[in-house]
């Protein structure tokens, strides 16, 4: 016990879920998973822990969409400004049904949007690839949060990048593995390993007593 704990629910949006037949649905993201994440989030909220959400929120012509690059196919990778960019199916387009967060929005103290600038992708909830910061860190600081419990989608992209930046910013980080889903098994395994090596704790199961006692 001691430092204040907060929760970040990463990109729990229709387009990333099988439950909503999303355009970028990750494996294992059916109704059972959404229910499990929703219940866990309700429990942490009821326990009085501040819950923040991140929301991928792209313009329709976003640079990460394969449709913005004539001749390219979904999941192809290209170089943009010397960075490797995976080209995704259009997803989480601002104001579309499947850009909505699929757990009860009232549970969130704040929802931080990212990827709004068409020129830059933004896997991290803290900043985009152009180095532009979101409100995430100021909100965490203002709320007095020093330990962050994270879960959501996708383990190998936005969860990974958000964990890396949270560690870099000096937060203690705990990832709840059973409440995460990734794009692919091998990159998800590697991401969990990298997060652990970077100093994050990986908890297999959601356990509110454990989280409250952190």
Query: By C-beta, is 108 or 123 nearer to ligand VGL?
Result: 123
Indicate whether 128 belongs to the interface with Zn ion (CB under 5 A): no
DSSP per-residue codes, 173-194: EEEEEEEEE-S-HHHHHHHHHH
According to DSSP, residue 58 is labeled B
Strand partners, 111: 53
Cβ neighbourhood burial of 201 (10 Å; 0-12, 13-18, 19+)? middle
Indicate whether 15 belongs to the interface with Zn ion (CB under 5 A): no
Binding mask of the shown chain, residues 46 to 85, with x at each position contacting ligand VGL by CB under 6 A: ----------x-----------------------------
Q: How far is the CB of 92 from Zn ion (least distance, A)?
A: 6
Q: How far is the CB of 88 from ligand VGL (least distance, A)?
A: 5
Which one of the listed residues 15, 56, 128, 158 is annotated catalytic? 158
Query: By C-beta, is 120 or 123 nearer to ligand VGL?
Result: 123
**Per-residue CA distances from 142 to 1, 31, 138, 212 (Å):** 20, 34, 6, 20
Kindly tell me which residue out of 57, 157, 171, 206 binds ligand VGL, with binding defined by CB under 6 A: 157
φ, ψ for residue 148, nearest 5 deg: -120, 125
Instruction: Give the residues lining the site for Zn ion (CB under 5 A).
Output: 56
């Amino acid at each position: 016990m001691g430092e204040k704990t907060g929760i970040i629910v990463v990109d729990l949006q229709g387009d990333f879920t099988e439950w909503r037949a999303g355009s970028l649905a990750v494996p294992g993201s059916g109704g059972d998973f959404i229910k499990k994440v929703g219940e866990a989030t309700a429990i942490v909220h009821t326990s009085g822990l501040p819950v923040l959400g991140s929301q991928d929120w792209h313009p329709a012509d976003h640079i990460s969409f394969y449709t913005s690059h004539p001749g390219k196919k979904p999941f192809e990778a290209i170089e943009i400004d010397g960075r490797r960019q995976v080209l995704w199916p259009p997803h989480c387009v601002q104001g579309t049904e499947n850009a909505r967060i699929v757990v009860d929005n009232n549970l969130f103290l704040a929802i931080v949007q990212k990827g709004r600038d068409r020129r830059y992708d933004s896997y991290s909830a803290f900043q985009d690839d152009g180095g532009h910061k979101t409100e995430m860190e100021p909100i965490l600081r203002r709320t007095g949060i020093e330990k962050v419990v994270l879960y959501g989608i996708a383990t190998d992209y936005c969860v990974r990048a958000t964990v890396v930046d949270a560690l870099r910013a000096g937060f203690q980080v705990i990832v709840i593995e059973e409440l995460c889903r990734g794009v692919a098994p091998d990159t998800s395994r590697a991401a969990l390993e990298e997060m652990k090596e970077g100093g994050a704790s990986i908890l297999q199961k959601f356990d509110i007593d454990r989280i409250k006692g952190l």
